[in-house]
A and B are shown apart, each in its own frame.
Chain A
Amino acid sequence: DQQVKQNSPSLSVQEGRISILNCDYTNSMFDYFLWYKKYPAEGPTFLISISSIKDKNEDGRFTVFLNKSAKHLSLHIVPSQPGDSAVYFCAAKARNTGNQFYFGTGTSLTVIP
């Protein structure tokens, strides 16, 4: 049972435009959510997080939105740059479930110069 889903395996965006990556989850007990970015031949690197008590968190060009009623979160990248081309994973965790993090399958973003 996959508790975190990223239904778009890939996304292409023109440089300078907005990239929107989506993630859905099924467990309403998740306490916080994270986005990771992964380049080929490297491990995932942490990008941005959001607590379940918030609906928005912003860090520079990256903003994460959380819609708890829809069990949906999204990552907005504005403006998109060619260096943003990577695979993006969303992850979720509930504090009372030990050390278990739940990851989506990833969305491969290509920013076209």
Chain B
Amino acid sequence: ETGVTQTPRHLVMGMTNKKSLKCEQHLGHNAMYWYKQSAKKPLELMFVYNFKEQTENNSVPSRFSPECPNSSHLFLHLHTLQPEDSALYLCASSQDGLEIETQYFGPGTRLLVL
């Protein structure tokens, strides 16, 4: 596997379900991100981890819970979601300290909350 992988690619869940999204990066980067992409909106940064430590939490509701056990893996735990949480969830990684830091994205998980 190369780059950034995400599983599952598609997820349908009810409002009372608990599910988790998984992201893995094979690039040796130190920073990992969760973004939400809704139709006709810019990418919304949700969480950032740098060397496993959370450095950004952009006022995300507590029904989204991130976990970063190591620099290569990132999870997003979901519980009691709302229909408006239906979106494409993208994971990205980057290596900071470079002259131009570039994010590399996974393919995303398309989430539908019923």
Contact = CB atoms under 8 A, between A and B. Distances in A.
Interface string A68-110: 0000000000000000000001010100001111111110000
B42 A104 contact: yes
B103 interface: yes
B50 A42 contact: no
Nearest to B102: A46
A91 B104 CA distance: 13
Contact of A99 (B33, B42, B105): B33
Nearest to B40: A105
A4 interface: yes
A98 B55 contact: yes
Contacts of B110: 41
A49 interface: yes
Contacts of A101: 45, 103
A44 B55 CA distance: 23
A interface, size bucket: 20 to 34
Given A99-B31, A99-B48, A99-B55, A46 B42 contact: no
A104 B42 CA distance: 5
Contacts of B1: none
A105 B105 CA distance: 16
B40 A43 contact: no
A16 interface: no
Nearest to A50: B100
Interface of A: 2, 4, 9, 32, 34, 36, 41-46, 49, 51, 89, 91, 93, 98-106
25 contacts: A2-B42, A4-B42, A9-B40, A32-B101, A34-B100, A34-B103, A36-B105, A41-B108, A41-B110, A43-B106, A44-B90, A45-B105, A46-B102, A46-B103, A49-B100, A51-B99, A98-B55, A99-B33, A99-B48, A99-B56, A100-B45, A100-B48, A102-B42, A103-B42, A103-B43
